Structure 1
Amino acid sequence: MLLTFVAVFNVVDRILPAVLIEPIKHDLQLSDTVIGLITGFGFLVIYAVVGIPIARISDRGRYGVVIAVCLTLWSIMTALGGLAQNAMQFAVARMGVALGEAGSSPAAHAFISRNFTPDKRSAPLAVLTLAVPFATSIAFLAGGLIGEWLGWRQTFMLVGLCGLLLSPVVLLVLGWRKPAGFSVEGAKHPSLVDTLVHFRGSSFLLVLAGSACIGIGAYGLTSFGVAYLIRAHGFTLGEIGVEFGLLTGLLGTVGLLGLGFVADRLAARDGRWLLWSTAILMAVVALASAGAFVTSDATFAMIGLAVANITVIAYAPPVISALHRLVPSHARATASALMLFCNAIAGGLGPLAVGMISDALTPSLGPSALGLALLLVPAIHLLGAGLLALAGSWFNEQALLE
C-alpha cells in the first residue's frame, strides 16, 4: 500500500503540467510544439536514459533507498517548477522531475515480483497501478480546483511539498538494507552485458515494441487531452477537475482491476493471455474512443477521452507480469526499466507530433485542429495491440520456469 501512495505522487507530479497546461501556456507564452517538447520528448528522454542505471541499483536489493531518494528529488523539482519564469527554466525543472521518477517504478515492480509467485503477480501489480486512476483524479481535482483558486505556480509548490513529507516514511518502512535472503554478501552480481543476454527473445522484443506504441499514444493524450476539452468544447479548469477527473479515475479503476483479474485467471491456464487480454482491451478502447476527437458534442468528447485513458491506466500490470516471466529474477527491475525506456523514448514523440500537427492545422481549422491531431492516439494504440497479440504467440516457449 505504501508503494501505491508513492506511485500516486509519481503520477500526479508527472501529469500536473498537462492539467494546468493552458494557464502555463499563456503565462510562459509557449506554442503547442514547445509544450510537446517539454512535457514529452525533453522529459521522457531523461526518464528513459536514467531509468536503466538506477534499476541496476534496485536489482541489488536496495529498493527502499532508491524509492526514497527518487521521491525526494522529483518532489523538490516539482516545487521548483512553480518558480519558472520562461520555457527553459520550466523545461529544466521538468527534466529534474524525470530524473527522480525514472528509478521508482522499476524498483517497485521488482519488489513485488520478489514477493509474489508468477501466477499471482498481476493482482498486486494492479493494486500498485491503482495509483494511476487515483492520481489522475487527484491531479485533475487539485490542478483544476486549486489551480483555479491559487494559480498554477502555487499548485506545483504545494504538490511538491506533500511528496517531500512522504520520503522519510518510505525509507523508514522499506528500509535501506537489502531484504533478508536477497543474496550472500560479496556475491557477484551479473554485469549489464550478462543481463541483456536475456532480453533477446522475440516475445520480449515485441512486448517492448507494443509498449513503445502505447507510450506514443498515452503521452500524446496526457499532454493535450485537457487542452482539447478547453479549446474545442469550452470546459473550465474547475469543470475538468471535477467531472473529467472523477470519470477518468472511475473508468480507469474498473479497467485496471478488471483486466488484472481476467488476465490472472486466464494466465493461470495459459500465460499467453497476459498479453492477449491486454491487446483485446486496447483494440476495443481505441475503436470506441476515436469519435471523441472529432465530435461537436462536449459530453461525448469528455466521455470518449475518459474511455481512451483506460489503456493508459490499465495495460501495465499484465504486461509487466508477462515481461518478468521472460527474464531471471536478478534482471526484473532492469527489464521493467527497459520497457519504460522504450515506452518513454517513443512516448516523447507523441506530444511532439500532436503539438506540431496542431500548430500546422490551427491557422485553417482553429480549435478543432487539436482534436484531429489527437486521432494519432487510437491509431497508434491499435498498432500496439497487434504487436502485443503477436508477442503472445511465442510467449509460452520463451517464458522461464520458477
Structure 2
Amino acid sequence: MIFYGKQSIDENDIDAVVEVLKSDFLTQGPAIEKFEKCVAEYCGAKYAVAVTSATAALHISCLSAGLGKDDILWTSPITFTASANCGRYCGADVDFVDIDPSTYNMSIAELEKKLQAAEIKPRVVVPVHLAGQSCEMDKIYKLSQKYGFKVIEDASHAIGADYKETKVGCCKYSDMTVFSFHPVKIVTTGEGGMVLTNDKDLYEKLVLYRSHGITRDPKLMTGTADGPWYYQQIDLGFNYRMTDMQAALGYSQMQKVNEFVSKRRYLAKRYNELLKNINGIQLPDQNEDTKSSWHLYVVRVDFSKISKTKNQIFAEMKEKGICLNLHYIPVHTQPYYENLGFKGGDFPNSEKYYEEAFTLPLYYSLTDEQQDHIVKSLVEVLQ
C-alpha cells in the first residue's frame, strides 16, 4: 500500500536515539538545546523552543503574544484544527479569513478587507503555510504594523521552504514561527514541535510556559533565591517539554533536511509534468516569491468534467493500493465551531476547495516507479 506520507528513518537516526538512551539524560538534557540551536541557525532565527507538538507550540505562542479573554485570533479555515484551537485554549474568540483560490493560503485581499471592516481587530493572526508554501508574509507583516496585531506563522508544513530569498522560520515578517515534527512531516521527532522567534522577551515567556511557569533564573524571580536548589513558579505554565530522545532524532533528521526537501521538490515537479494534460485536474499553483518545501501535493478535480464522485475516486484508488488523503476539512464547518455560530457559506473559497481537493502521496522514499503507478491509476480512475 502506498500511503500519502511516511517518515524516513535511517541508521544514523537510530544511533542518535540509542546514544541518548545510554546517556545520563533522557529529558531536559543537552540534546534539547543542540536541536534548538540547529533549527534556529538553519532558519536564521535567534531563538528556538522545542516542545511536545506543534499544537503546544501554537498554544504557548498565543500566550506569549498576550492572547486572552476578550481577544480574537484570526486564521485560515483550510488548516488542521489546532491553528484555531490554540486561540480557544487561551480563552479568546476565533474567526477566519478565506483562502486565495489559487494558492489555498490566506487571502491577502480578504484579510485587508476584513481588517478594514472589523470593529474589534485581532490580537493575533495565524497565517498557515499550506502544503509547504509560504503565505505572502511581507504583506501580512505590513498589515500587522498598521492594525497592531501579532503574527504567528503556522509553518507546520514548511520547514525548508523559502520566501523572498529567506528561510521560512527566520521571523523576518512575523513575531513567531511554529514547526511540526509529526511523523508525516518533512523532519520528524515522532511527536514534537518548535517555536522560533527573534524577540528575547517572547523567548523567555515561551521557555516559561513550556515548563509549568517555573524558572530558576534569579533575574525573573521575586525576592532572593534560598539556594542553588531554588525555583519559583511565576506564571501558570504546562508540561510541554520535549524529551532528549526526540531531540536527538530531530537533530539527526535536520542533517538531511535539504536532501529531504530537494527530493520532494523533484517529485512535485515530476507530478506537474505527468499530470499537466489530464482533463479535469487542476495542479497546485505557486506564488513567484515562494519555494515550497512540498510537505503535501494537493490537486483539485473539476467534477463537471469527471463522472466520478470524490468517494468513488478514494475507494477505487485504494483498490489499486494507493491511499489518498484530504487536507483539510474547513475548520468552521466542524461541529464545535458551528456551535460557536459559524455555518456553511461563511467562507466560500474554502468550501469549494474542500469539495474539489485531495492529496496525492508524497514523501522522501517515494520512487519514480511508485509515482508512475499513482498517476497511471489516477488517470484510469478518472477516465
User: Normalization by structure 2: what TM-score?
Assistant: 0.27
User: Normalization by structure 1: what TM-score?
Assistant: 0.26
Which structure has more strand as a fraction of its residues?
A: 2
Which structure has more helix as a fraction of its residues?
A: 1
Q: Rg larger in 1 or in 2?
A: 2
